Amino acid sequence: MSMLVSESLGQANLASSHAFCRRLTRSQARNFYYGLKLLPQPKRSAMFTLYAYMRLVDDIADDQDGRSVRQRIDELESWREQTHLILAGREAGGGHLLWPAFTEMIQQYHLPPHVFDDVIAGQRQDLEPEPFETFEQLRQYCYRVAGVVGLASIYIWGFEGGAETEALAVDRGVAFQLTNILRDLKEDAENGRTYIPREDLATVSLSEDDLRSSRGGDAFDRLMRFQIERAESYYRKSSPLEDRIERDCRPTLIAMTRIYHGLLKKMAAQPQRVLSQRVSLSLVRKLIIGWQAVRSR
């Protein structure tokens, strides 16, 4: 095969890989997609790739397709091994459409390798769930499934401030995940997953069974208001982050944060709403947030 033909095939594979990541992000990232669209190229494509990687790993743990826990753990381990091949500058052997775009992302932005190990560890934690006794245990989980996404993102966006900014990015990711946990509280409880620490449930005399049965009342309101304030504290702690990343990426971070923070504020207005419906923002509201974020540049 001539070098020209080989190069053309490689470019075609990369284009197909980028198209796959873009489609997956658009179909699945209901809150992230509108923020990511504000990014300039090639950062936008890299973020679509990062989202696709995280989503595919998450699907291994979450898809209800009849596979056993052992099979899912083995698949996560295979995914981790292929990731490490690429991180080491070698070609992944799995043939997944993701890998060409993922390889390009790694080569361009040099994301910390531990990010991917931590993400996979978080998915294994979901496959072998144990109740969280304390908030510190929950915070570690939030770091693995969301904090590291914030950390990976700033490597693509570009940032200043070193380790201090990395910590801010992790805190922003934790804020997003705490928001997700409250929004999905009923659905998760029905699926046998309770992310609220037992020490917090005990404080208001609620149990995991109470969450599964959608018990509301004053005790639930107190629980939600405490959890909402905790999430708010992570939004506040991470507030300097916008000024630390490159200017062309700030509208994206602003939009994503306003969308997630908007969900939290909506829950704060009516905490018991999460027991009866999935709290969301309208498409119009998301588009307005995106427009405002661009104007704030």
pLDDT digits (tens, 9 = 90+) for 224-270: 999 999 999 999 999 999 999 999 999 999 999 999 999 999 999 99
What is the pLDDT at residue 153?
Answer: 97
Euclidean distance between CA atoms 200 and 190, whole angstroms: 19
pTM for the structure as a whole = 0.90
Domain spanning 13-127: CATH superfamily:
Farnesyl Diphosphate Synthase (1.10.600.10)
**pLDDT of 1-60, one tens digit each?**
333 233 333 555 899 999 999 999 999 987 778 788 889 999 999 999 999 999 999 998
Domains of the chain, residue spans: 13-127, 129-297
The answer to whether domain 13-127 and domain 129-297 are alike in fold is yes
- pLDDT, residue 43, reads 97
Domain range 129-297, CATH class: mainly alpha
